[in-house]
Every structure is written in structure tokens, then in C-alpha cells.
Structure 1
């Protein structure tokens, strides 16, 4: 992906803007109605000064005050003002309603896309940066639609109307005022060119801030245990200072090129108009009403310009943020998917690896020619030091990453030929770091699978011995679960994750060090549950404690991505190789002592 702080060239900004405008297609009817009300409201507002000009030149100057014409004139002025307020209220409300719907859809689009990415994307991308795009960046785009876009549309229509009224009053002077447009457009162009880089830097630094906050919250236990608060604070202060400096640069630019510059141009324009009427007065009488109306329109001309210039900063932020959001949406790194037209089903759950090699970075192999077979009812244990490739085997079997070399077969069919739904239904995964969602116990077991009844959930909980502690909770299966299940012990969280897996009766059970962090209070219940879960199923278990896999049908000892040894527990101990040494170390026995 393109780096998040990259500067968007003018062509890229234009593409981003047009892509944002494409979201309006789904709201054509409301957009047209809003635009009609905008035209009517703007027209009603612009006619007001002309009515005052008529009153000054036709009635006030000649001191002619007939009751009925003045009543109609005054009534028309009041009606136009009230009409303008009504029309403008509805068009603003509808424009903002459209904007909120668009942002709602944009957030769904970007969030949905992140759900489809493969795990390799999340391995490289900080979580804070992704969160920033879904929240902060879409919020900036929302401001553009809600505030900037409606203001620009309304004010552009208003400016066109002002020039029409100016030409109606005095065509020659209106032509002179047209020369103001290139000056203002040039000012806008310069501002956009200079501000794009500043706002790109600000947006990028904000992502880094979110990343630091997310990292510190997730790792608070380690931070406090190792007294890293000072270091984390310094790192956060550094990023925060860089973000602050980027904001200051943007503020300096805003202070120079926004209202002060426009005010200076407006002063020059007023001087031009007054000089024109001053010279005209030497040649003949000047209509005071025309002078009033022209000055009024000129004043109204620069107020919309000021509003648009002040919102250019929001517009520029929105374009930069939208560019970051679209880069995420366009990023092509989807999770591995089904290949081919065959639709095999998993019936027995036999797993076979045939000369499988794999690399995360495309350079260094973490798996080298791995081959093994696990049949229904058998348990294969994977052991080895950290980095030996145990988790990589699980990641490939779960199809979190694509198989690059070799083949993985389930029931004789290639892993890539299975529908994702078929794999997820029949492969049950229990991780060492079990994850519970905010909600309640029942929801965490069901995980919104509507096919599972309350009876199914309770049956699964009883099967893994989780019902005993759940029944003791104040609200039972409806007991609330906080973020990541922090109020439960590690063993209780693990039992809930067991129940979640077994509620779907998987054919293949994958245990990734499922007992590594279990407390002694629930260890016996968990070991009993594991024996029940394995019965009649194909089981692959990553083992940290070798004492837990004595009964495994087959054990693979991995070393630097290769199978160093294989056999049963007793066979491997007899060979007195790598497994033997690992076992002795865990038992606290000197490996040099006689067997």
C-alpha cells in the first residue's frame, strides 16, 4: 500500500473528489429536490436588495409614498425573506441527510473491506492506523459532505445569482467585477496546493498517535510490570509534538491565505465600485438605490467567498482523508479463497500435508518440505522451540495464508478447492490467547450463529465442563462479558472458547497451545474437556507442555521449519534426541544423568 503520509497530486485529488461524488448516485431524487429548493431559496434571498433599490429610487428619492404599491412592495419583501428561510432550511437539512447516509455507507465499505483482508495484511499494518481510517478519516469526509459541500454548492449558486443581479443593475460595472473571479480562484488554487502536504502530514501523524494509544492500552500489563511508562510517554510526546507542528504549519497558512487575503481583495473591490460611481456622478446623477444594491451585492459576494475559503481547510483535510480511506478499500490483499469449480465436503476430516514449504516474506522459508497424515480419531502433536514453524502449519491448514509450495489435502481434496464456509464449519480452532467479545456468555458461544439454539449452547457448555462455572454466575448464560473477558479467569475464558468451538461439532480440531495459560483451578476440567473433544475427531495440537501430549498418536518435532523427529512419546524418548532433551528440561532433570 502507498504510504499514508504521501502527498496527493492535483490529479489524484480530483480522482478522489469524483469518487466521493459517485456516492451521490444512490440519492439522485433527494439531491435534485435539495438543489431545486436551493435555487428557490437563493433566488428569494437575492431579490430582496432589488426591492429595496426600487423603493429608494422610485419612492424614497422622489418622496412619493402611495399606500397600496408600498404595501405590496413591503409584503413581497417579507414573503421573500420567509420563503428564503423555509427553502434554505429544507435544502440544508436534506443535503446533510444525504451526507450522513453517504458516510454511513463509506464506513461500512471500509470496515467490510478490512474484514476480507488476509492475516498477512494485519501482520504488517498497525491496528491504530486502521482504526484511524475507519473513524477519524471518515469523520473528516463527513465534515466535507455535511458542512463544506453544502456550503460550496449554496454559495456558488448564490454567487451566480449575485452576478445576474449585478448585470441587471449595471452591466458595465458587473463586467469589471468579473475580474475578481480569476483572482479568487487563483488564491484558492495556491491554498490547495500548499495545504495538501500539511494536511497529509497531520493525518499521518494522527494515525501514529492512534497506533501508540492502541499499543499502550493492549500492552498495559507489560508496560506497568517492566516500568515502561516513562519510555511510552516520551514516544507518545514525540509523535504528538510532530502532529502539533504539522497543525501549526497548516494554521499559519490558513491565517495568511484565508480571510485576511479575501478581506484585502474585498477592500480593493469596494474602492473600485466607489470610484466608478464617483466618476459617474461627474457626468450625471447617480441612482442611490442602484449604488446601495450594488454595494449590498458586493458585500454579499465576499461573505460566501470567505465562507468557502474558510472551509477549504476542511475540504483539503477531507480529500487527504478520503484518499487514505480509498487506498485501504482498493488494497488488494484478500484472504485466500476457493479455487476451481469442485465443491467437496468434509466428511471424515483426514488431513494430509505433502511437501509443504512456506515463507511469510517470500525470502526465508519458515516451513520446509513438511509431510504428514492425520486420520479421523487420531491426534497429531506439534512440538518445537519458538519459531520452529508450529503455528505456521496451523495457519496454512486454517487457510489464513495461501499454500505456496506443496499440497494440503482434506479427505483427499485440495484445501484450495473447499468453500470458505465449509472449512469454517468443520475446522474448530482453540487458541492459547482466547478472545471473548463484549456481550454475554451466550453470545460468545453462539457468535451470532442463528442456527444454534439455547439448548445447543448449553449442551456444548456441558460437554466441555463449562456449565458448572457458568451456572454459578449471577445471570448464568446471560452474564455480561467485558472487553476481552477480563472479568473471567484464564481457565474460564478457555472453557467458554471450548464451548464455542464444540457447539459447531467440527470434524477437525485444532488446538494452539490451548492449555498453556490455564490456572490450576480449572486445569482438571479443561483436560477432561479436551479428552472429550478429541474423541472421534482429527486433532492437531500445538503443545507447549510435553506432559500433555503423552497420549498423542503421533508427534512431530519441528526445528527451524523442518521435521527433525517423529513418532510416539515413548519412541521419541527412547531415541534420546531433541524431544528427549526438551522433555528432560521441562521435568527439571539434568539431561546428562543416565536414563
Structure 2
């Protein structure tokens, strides 16, 4: 525990420095806001001094100089009006800067999320990321919007109040300085104790988002398997843990925020009254000075209370910023092109040279994979679940880095291609196609400005999707809901085919592309696939062996290794694993196959 606290302090200080670094581009605006704040504070602090002059110079001695009194009254109300206007202007200025800063932070964290590798997402729940990007950045926003402006304004106000106190009575003001270390000690204690509570609270909130995201994504399975009660109980337990953390936070606030500050105010009031009480024995006490001091004390502790309340939000923001910066600092980036060369994919020849791969660095899911797919050829990958088929595609798409062995495209190592060329040259169609909210035309084009409407329609006709699109009320402008929920599985797959063909790639990567298509549609798709594969290198995962009988090369994988290779007829003649898989799917015995 003794080592942990200094590390927490270092971490929080580092986090604060990184947050304040976002303010550098706005130095000019901040300087103007500080100047306005200084004038607003001076106008506010001058008020009690004017009242003190009125009491001691005119009211107490009954000296009714109405001209002077009217001037003092006009000056008092004038300064109050100036203070109100300037306070409004500086508050808007600080909040405007704060909104600029939080926008930049959100863009930084969202941009970083876009660049992270799939290996990071494999081990990080989506709900946790959503919590960091939404809840945590919102907490940081509150720090810049309300906490920072409140602290700056009130610190300047406290300095102005102490200056006013020293103008009234130097000795008493010096006595009141003892309050400063007590207040700082109170704030330090609160930060130290609340840091752990806020960490727990944020972690529990992240778990709530994770469970909520999982439940919403798998709602059809939950309802089909009648798991509502179990998920409700699990969610209730998680929310209960978050409730317990929140209750600790409330108890801490109730003890150290308002009551502790009120106690300090009571001690300060006793100090001032005792000082003037003792002074009254030696001579008369100026009522105006007494009023001004008590007024300053009230004004002094009002900012302290505000800062203590904001300290709760400040501590939440620091914890949230640590989580956000932890995401921004994540080093598990998606593999990118290396070197200054900019090779182009011209022919589409693919070669795997003794490639082995492991997701966790311990267990190999691919072992010594070697094969060649020449331009225009189709290489099919078959095997039982977990045999390594999808891992080969993941490496081919450079979703994961290759550390053992090499993958070449047109004789050039995969890592030398830049991202733009690699994504343009390789078309990917997944088993579960993903559609974005928008319309059909947008989902086929995906913001590619070089793809015209004519090319969109041509791609749709090519994959047999044009007929069903034109039957829709909006045609190519038909709205698409989240994940394309209003379309059938086959229609979504056809649209993903059109999306791929609109880019005219040299290489096709198909992950069981016909799995979600009915038999009648599959025949049309197979015809389209036959046309798509012409002049293109194709890597295809297949579970239904009937769809890849015309492949130039079939690789049979088992436990991460290629155990058989050849054409459909060659593999059947070997009567090995492929032969047995084929028999199972055909529902026939050996004699019938022969």
C-alpha cells in the first residue's frame, strides 16, 4: 500500500498534464478569458469594500453626504452589473474552449479505436470500449466544461478575497491564512480516498455496458433458450456491485464535502469574532470592517464549497481520463505496410511459405502452411471447425501480423503493401455480411467517390441483386436499418457481393459466401461466383463441399495442418479425410460414390 499511493499520485499528475496539453492550441482564447475573469473578480470583490466605506464613513457617524452616498450606490450597483456581464462572458469563453478540447479528445480516442488490431478486440469486450468512448469522455467533458472553469474562477475569487481582507486588516487576514493549508489537506484527503472508489465505480459501469451489449446482440438466442431470468439475475448482480460502489462514493461525499467545509467556516467565523471581541476591549470596533470581513468569509467559503462539490466530478474525470488515455496508448495496432516502396497488386498470385501462427503466443492454430494460388485459380479451404481455415484468411487479409513464415502477393511480401492498395486489391465476403445504416446505394459504394451510380448498378446486376433491389419501394435508395435487419440473409449476402465487385479486386476471399443463401438463390450466386472468379485469384472457405468441386486446388486442414491437397476427384480417390467428409454430406455409402 505504501508503494501504491505514490504511483497513483504520479499517474494522476501525468494524466493532468496530458489533459492540460490539449489546452495549448487555445492559449490566446484562454488568456482573454483569464483577463475577463480577473476584471469580473475585481468587480465582485470591490462590493464589500464599498459597503464598508458607506457604514464607517457615513452611516455610523451619521454623516449624510447624499452626493457621495449616491456615487457609492451607483458604483456598487455598477460594479455588480459589470461583474455579472463579465462572469457570463468568461463562463461562455471557458466552456467554448472546453467543448473544443473534448471534441479533440473524442476524435483522438475514436481514431485510435479505428487503428487497433483485431487481436485487441479478441480480448476486449465491446461494451467496455463503448463505456470508455461515451461515459468516460463525457466525464472528461464535465471536467473541462464545469470543473475547470469553476476552479479557475473560484481560485481567482479566493485570491481577490484575500487581497480585500488585507486591505481591511493585515493582522486578521494573516490569521485567516491558516485556513489555506487546512483546506488543501481536506482536498488532498478527499482525492486520496475517493480515487479508489471512483476506479471501482467506473469498472462496474464498464461491466454493465458489456453485459448490456452482449444481451442486446444475442437477444434472439436468449429468448430462444429461455435465458431471460439468468441474464436478469446476472445483470442485477452487476448493477448491485455498481450500486455498492456508488453508495461508498455518496458516504465519502457526505462526510468530507459539505460538513467538513462548514466546520472550517465555523472555526473561521469564531476566529474573526474573537479577534474583534478582543479588540473591542482596547477601543472601538469599526462595524463596517466587521461586516466586510464576515461578508468576505461567506464569499470565501462559498467558492470552497463549490470546489469541493466539483472535486467529485474532477476525481471522476481523472479516473475516466486514465482509462481513455490507456486506450489511446494501446500499442496493439493493426498491422500496416512497412517500407517506402508502394508495390501494386497486378496479377494476384498468392504464396504461403511455411506459415505458422498463434493467437495467444502459446498454442499454434496454423502449422507450417505452404501453398500457391496462381492468378485466375481458385483455392478452397475445407476442414472441421477449428482446423484453421479462418486463420489463413485472417493472415491473408493482414488482420494479424505474420511472425513465422511469409505470405507473398505477386512475389512481394505482404507487409510491404500499404493498406489502401491491399484493401483495394483484395475483396472480402464474409459468411455473416454486415450492412451499415443508410441506403442500398451507400452500402454498395461505402463512400468511395470513384464508384459511380452506374458502376453500383452494374455490380448489383453482376451478382443477381438488381432484380430484388428494383422491386423495393425505394430501389437503390431504399433505407437500410441497423445491420440490415429488414433484409433477408440472402439479400444481405447479395449486397455484400455487389459491394465487393464494385471495387473490381484482383483477389477474392470468400468465407462460406453462400452459407446464408437459399438453394434457388445459391444457384444464381454460384453462376455469379463463376464469373467473378474469372481472371481473379480466389481463396474460398467452404463447408458444403458441393460448392467447391470445380476448385483448382483444395486444401484439407486438420488441427492447423494441411493433411491433404488436390482437386476434388484426386481427393476422393485418396479416400482420406476429404472423402469421409464428402460421404457424410452426401448421405451415401462408398459404393454409391464410386
TM-score range, shorter chain: over 0.9
Moved more, 556-565 or 582-591: 582-591
Structure 2 match to 1:484: 483
Q: Which runs of 5+ in 1 are unaligned?
A: 1-5
Q: 1:352 to 1:594 in 2, by over 3 A?
A: closer
CA deviation after TM superposition for structure 1 residue 465, in Å: 1.1
Structure 2 match to 1:83: 82
Q: Distance in 1 between matches of 2:263 and 2:337?
A: 64
Structure 2 match to 1:526: 525
Q: Distance in 2 between matches of 1:66 and 1:340?
A: 86
Structure 2 match to 1:496: 495
Structure 1 match to 2:457: 458
Task: Look up the SS of the partner of 1:345 in the other structure.
Answer: coil
Q: Distance in 2 between matches of 1:100 and 1:134?
A: 16
CA deviation after TM superposition for structure 1 residue 592, in Å: 8.8
Moved more, 519-528 or 323-332: 519-528
Structure 1 match to 2:170: 171
Structure 2 match to 1:357: 356
CA deviation after TM superposition for structure 1 residue 521, in Å: 5.0
Q: For residues 262-297 of structure 1, give each alpha carbon's deviation from its aligned partner in whole angstroms, at most 9, with x where no partner exists.
A: 001101111111111111111101000000000000
Structure 1 match to 2:510: 511
**Which residues in structure 2 correspond to 1:541-556 (within 5 Å)?**
541-556=540-555
Q: Distance in 2 between matches of 1:218 and 1:522?
A: 27
Q: For residues 71-108 of structure 1, give each alpha carbon's deviation from its aligned partner in whole angstroms, at most 9, with x where no partner exists.
A: 21111111101100010001000101111111111000
CA deviation after TM superposition for structure 1 residue 519, in Å: 2.6
Structure 2 match to 1:307: 306
Q: For residues 481-530 of structure 1, give each alpha carbon's deviation from its aligned partner in whole angstroms, at most 9, with x where no partner exists.
A: 00000000001000100010000100000000111121345323322221
Q: 1:477 to 1:8 in 2, by over 3 A?
A: farther
* Residue 340 (str. 1) matches residue 339 (str. 2): yes
CA contact (8 A) 1:41 1:83 kept: yes
* Residue 155 (str. 1) matches residue 159 (str. 2): no
Q: For residues 220-263 of structure 1, give each alpha carbon's deviation from its aligned partner in whole angstroms, at most 9, with x where no partner exists.
A: 11111111111111111111111110001111100000000100
TM-score (norm 2): 0.98
Task: Look up the SS of the partner of 2:165 in the other structure.
Answer: helix
Structure 1 match to 2:439: 440
CA contact (8 A) 1:512 1:541 kept: yes
Q: Which runs of 5+ in 2 are unaligned?
A: none
Task: Look up the SS of the partner of 2:23 in the other structure.
Answer: helix
Structure 2 match to 1:368: 367
* Residue 50 (str. 1) matches residue 76 (str. 2): no
CA deviation after TM superposition for structure 1 residue 43, in Å: 0.4
CA contact (8 A) 1:8 1:320 kept: no
The aligned length equals 591
Q: Distance in 1 between matches of 2:349 and 2:52?
A: 91
Structure 2 match to 1:3: none
CA contact (8 A) 1:41 1:85 kept: yes
CA deviation after TM superposition for structure 1 residue 594, in Å: 8.0
**Which residues in structure 2 correspond to 1:254-273 (within 5 Å)?**
254-273=253-272
Q: For residues 293-352 of structure 1, give each alpha carbon's deviation from its aligned partner in whole angstroms, at most 9, with x where no partner exists.
A: 000001110010001011111100000000000000001011112222332211110111
Q: For residues 400-422 of structure 1, give each alpha carbon's deviation from its aligned partner in whole angstroms, at most 9, with x where no partner exists.
A: 11111111111111111111111
TM-score (norm 1): 0.98
Structure 2 match to 1:108: 107
CA deviation after TM superposition for structure 1 residue 384, in Å: 0.2
Structure 2 match to 1:282: 281
Q: Distance in 2 between matches of 1:417 and 1:275?
A: 80
Q: Distance in 2 between matches of 1:213 and 1:258?
A: 33
Task: Look up the SS of the partner of 1:17 in the other structure.
Answer: helix
Task: Look up the SS of the partner of 2:22 in the other structure.
Answer: helix
CA deviation after TM superposition for structure 1 residue 590, in Å: 4.5
Q: Distance in 1 between matches of 2:552 and 2:522?
A: 22
CA contact (8 A) 1:7 1:197 kept: no
CA deviation after TM superposition for structure 1 residue 591, in Å: 5.7
Structure 2 match to 1:562: 561
Q: Distance in 2 between matches of 1:351 and 1:512?
A: 17
Structure 2 match to 1:583: 582
Structure 1 match to 2:290: 291
Q: Distance in 1 between matches of 2:505 and 2:446?
A: 15
CA contact (8 A) 1:585 1:591 kept: no
Moved more, 450-459 or 488-497: 450-459
Task: Look up the SS of the partner of 1:9 in the other structure.
Answer: helix
CA deviation after TM superposition for structure 1 residue 8, in Å: 6.8
Moved more, 271-280 or 318-327: 271-280
**Which residues in structure 2 correspond to 1:318-333 (within 5 Å)?**
318-333=317-332
Structure 1 match to 2:420: 421
CA-based RMSD of the aligned residues comes to 1.4
Structure 1 match to 2:411: 412
Task: Look up the SS of the partner of 1:382 in the other structure.
Answer: strand
Task: Look up the SS of the partner of 1:424 in the other structure.
Answer: helix
Q: Distance in 1 between matches of 2:10 and 2:552?
A: 63
Task: Look up the SS of the partner of 1:409 in the other structure.
Answer: strand
Q: Distance in 2 between matches of 1:78 and 1:110?
A: 48
